[in-house]
Structure 1
Amino acid sequence: MAGLRVLRGLLGRLGAPVLSQGITAGTSLLLQVLAARALGLGEYGAFAVYLAVLVSATALYTGYVGDSLAVLDRRDPRIRSALSASALLGLALCFAVGIVTSLILRHGDYVAALLYATMLVGWLLEETFRRVLIARQEFWKLVWNDTGYLLGTAVALVAWFATGAPVTLPMLFAAMGVGTITAIVLGFAQVPPSERRGVRLKAVRLSGLAEVAAFAGWRSLHATLRPAAQLAARVLVANLLSFTAVGMLEAGRLLIAPLQVVVNGAGGFLLAGFAAGERKGRADHGLARRAAILLTGATVLGGLVLTVFAHPLGTLLTGQPVDPVLLLGWVAYLAVWAAGLPYVTEVVARKLARTVFTVRLADSVAGLALAATVLVLGGPVAAVPWLLTAGGLYSAWRLGRIALRTRQVRGDEKTVRIDLEATMRFPPV
């Protein structure tokens, strides 16, 4: 009975962050369904690559800036100035990446390139406000912020449909841009003035930049690994098979979006909670295990239900039936990620970002190598998520062991962390 009460309490605390992720994912689902049904599988495959670049850029930026807001002392003037300088540089680089990516995918389409790059910068600026709210553990304000994104995007889509013009990729980017502007305004209004004032870029010091980079550099690389691996998998499928095959791959992933909402929402909640516990010296060492059981169980059960209805759900959402084997592969991939996520956030909260990166790098490289080998040998696209899952099994097990080991160590915290980083530099694959 005590265990059930603990799980009920955990579910209650997860309500707001999961709802927040649900709103954001619901908006993304709306856009992806619209793209899949209106653009066809080929153009939908291109749209999926655009989204993969967006997700990768977001992971890199929020891993460096956003997670640093939660784990580091953002009230320290040195840290605040260093994070502000890092954010501005990150936004400029992502604008350039957006332009280049779009011109590669749609050669000569400068309108689409400008819309996509501008939307990408707006998305990251919106994400900055979201991460401040997450760091403050004000998850219900986060819900309002994400609701603004949904409403802004929906209004833009309705206005476009009223003109009778066809659905195009630039139109989708513009609608997303309207949603991000709405969310930015709400985020600015909801973040307290104390979080915005006192930032002076002229006061940026090398010591502050070095302290931020020591954590954020490895954390951002780690946060980028998973979306980058999925982007690489899409590129492999596009080159070895076709954009239509990418569309088939994405159609299967689209069906598990509701499950991914729960996992992603839990990730933000857990990192903020573990970071707060570490700062106060009151970390809940049983939280990771309880969260892993809850998230993995919910993912497996929900995934089995979705697999049973793979054909009708695929037809409803994308206009094409989805291969149950492909869908079950994505369920397995997400279940393994859900099992390891609580331990990832626990170890990251202890600032062992390089350790997590090296483990996850081995996971990603192994999965991509397996996928590339099978595709070159003529394997089906349905095998891709299964092969990506294989690497994830290693990281879930390894990070669970690291989390347990760091709980048991006491004494000089600085010495402990240096020793752990040294032993985990090149983990066995």
Structure 2
Amino acid sequence: MSGRFAAAVAGRTSTAAAIAAQGTQASAGLLIQVVAARNLGLDGLGKFGLLYGVMIVATALPSGFVGDSMAVLDRQRPSVRAALQNWLLLIAAVCASICFLGAYAIGIVDGGVAIVYGVATFLFLVEDSLRRLLMAAMRFWRITLVDITSIAVAVIVFVLSPNVDLLILFAALAGGQLVAIVVAVLLMPREEKWFASPRPASYRVVARYGIWRSLQLAVRPASLAATRAIVIGAAGLSAAGELEAARIYTAPAMLLVVGLGAYLFSSYARDKQRPLKEEIRSVDRQVVVLGGWIAMLSICIAVAVPQVSPLIAGQQVSMTMTIGWLVYILSVATTSCYANLAAVRGFERATLAVRSFDSGLSVIFVIAAMWVYQKTDSDLLVEAAPFAIAVGSFIGGFILRRYVLRPGSAPSDAPS
């Protein structure tokens, strides 16, 4: 009896720590976005939304390729450890370079902002992978300290700056991530606090799993970045800024969903020897509970738009856009559980195919809405963009549950 009681207490403590860790991560991300919304104006916010969205797409690559591989593969093997380290540095450097060159080449920012943006991207990607290593080791309370450090440094930069523009925003983000990296290394458990020799490295072992997972994680942020670009092209930066303001207002709910998804992925990886049929039933129950909580939270967020949105977004946001983003968040909450379970159980290729299909479908819906907008000049079609994305997401979740995770389905090569 005492053993069961201790296990129950430990389980609740772990869950509370995981929720706290996701809450601090949500707060760190929300801080940057709220400061942007309140200081940049609609055109500047449209630029920030595009740049920050591309950074999130870039983060998905090491998050899946390295971060999730650490949870699924045997990271204590020196050759696997070496491959994880080398892949992280390579991917982070390439993504940071692309972000810098892309932002500068298209002329959306000047050279100084582009450089700081590239540096922030590199540090952001490294810090995210260290968070995932702590997550894989189930050290969630330590993650909260890492996030709090990042928040504190960013706040100091904002307080000391006479005005806040894109350069200061990305400088604050870079500074916070740099100090958070140091804190994360110091807080690593003893068994994780070691670096493998760069050679030999099991690059193929990591790539065999990581490439599918990273692409899967990148698809959804990529579709959001494409949506921003399409809206900017069809309706201008101000319209994209309004869309971004509504998204920032609903961001706490989305960040909570994403954080819980990361925790659930770690728990699915830990319990991957459990019979799949039994695990699917458990996930079905989780989806119902999570969907219910998100639905209730969404109602509260929607009701509070007139009073709260000016405090968070710096302006009154569109109710239609807000509801659209909340519907999209609900779709993510109810479908990501199945995607995470499928990825852990060896269905990563099928999961990527489904995610690519539903995200492509969402982008097509957005393109269609913007085409009609240009013909009719109806602002309602711009406001409906989040609904278009949500429809594709719901369709993808249905396909994953009905066809990928069906009884007797055979996975692809499982990670080892």
Instruction: Map 1:131-280 to 2 at 5 A.
Output: 131-160=132-161, 165-197=162-194, 199-204=196-201, 208-279=202-273
Aligned to 2:371: 376
Question: What value does the CA root-mean-square deviation take over the aligned residues?
Answer: 2.3
Aligned to 1:354: 349
Instruction: Map 1:109-120 to 2 at 5 A.
Output: 109-120=110-121
**C-alpha separation between the residues in 1 aligned to 2:412 and 2:170?**
45
Cα distance, 1:278 vs structure 2: 1.1
* AA in 2 matched with 1:367: S
**C-alpha separation between the residues in 2 aligned to 1:113 and 1:393?**
36
Aligned to 1:25: 26
Q: Deviations over 1:317-358 (max 9, x none)?
A: 223222212111111111111111111111111132111100
Alpha carbons 1:363, 1:394 under 8 Å: kept: yes
> Equivalent residue of 2:411, what SS?
helix
Aligned to 1:61: 62
Alpha carbons 1:19, 1:265 under 8 Å: kept: no
**C-alpha separation between the residues in 1 aligned to 2:297 and 2:23?**
15
Alpha carbons 2:350, 2:404 under 8 Å: kept: no
Once the two structures are aligned, what percentage of the paired residues are identical?
A: 29
**C-alpha separation between the residues in 1 aligned to 2:261 and 2:412?**
26
> Equivalent residue of 1:227, what SS?
helix
Alpha carbons 1:307, 1:324 under 8 Å: kept: yes
**C-alpha separation between the residues in 2 aligned to 1:10 and 1:193?**
22
**C-alpha separation between the residues in 2 aligned to 1:312 and 1:106?**
37
TM-score by length of 2: 0.90
1:296 to 275, 278, 291: 291
Q: Structure 1 residues 8 and 347 mapped into 2: Cα distance closer, same or farther (>3 Å)?
A: farther
Aligned to 2:5: none
Cα distance, 1:158 vs structure 2: 1.6
Alpha carbons 2:20, 2:144 under 8 Å: kept: yes
Q: Structure 1 residues 10 and 253 mapped into 2: Cα distance closer, same or farther (>3 Å)?
A: farther
- With 371-380 and 195-204 compared, the bigger mean Cα shift is at 195-204
**C-alpha separation between the residues in 2 aligned to 1:185 and 1:103?**
29
Cα distance, 1:197 vs structure 2: 2.6
Alpha carbons 1:347, 1:356 under 8 Å: kept: yes
> Equivalent residue of 1:203, what SS?
coil
> Equivalent residue of 1:394, what SS?
helix
What number of residue pairs does the alignment pair up?
A: 400
Aligned to 1:95: 96
1:317 to 299, 312, 322: 312
> Equivalent residue of 1:167, what SS?
coil
* AA in 1 matched with 2:302: T
**C-alpha separation between the residues in 2 aligned to 1:123 and 1:419?**
31
Q: Structure 1 residues 138 and 182 mapped into 2: Cα distance closer, same or farther (>3 Å)?
A: same
Q: Deviations over 1:73-116 (max 9, x none)?
A: 11222322222221121022022112113213546722111111
Q: Deviations over 1:166-197 (max 9, x none)?
A: 21111111111111112111101011343243
Q: Structure 1 residues 269 and 148 mapped into 2: Cα distance closer, same or farther (>3 Å)?
A: same
**C-alpha separation between the residues in 2 aligned to 1:108 and 1:274?**
42
Cα distance, 1:275 vs structure 2: 0.5
Alpha carbons 1:308, 1:324 under 8 Å: kept: no
Q: Deviations over 1:281-319 (max 9, x none)?
A: 797444312221121111111112221222332222223
TM-score by length of 1: 0.87
Aligned to 1:47: 48
> Equivalent residue of 2:196, what SS?
coil
**C-alpha separation between the residues in 2 aligned to 1:11 and 1:236?**
44
**C-alpha separation between the residues in 2 aligned to 1:10 and 1:376?**
51
* AA in 2 matched with 1:156: V
**C-alpha separation between the residues in 2 aligned to 1:81 and 1:352?**
26
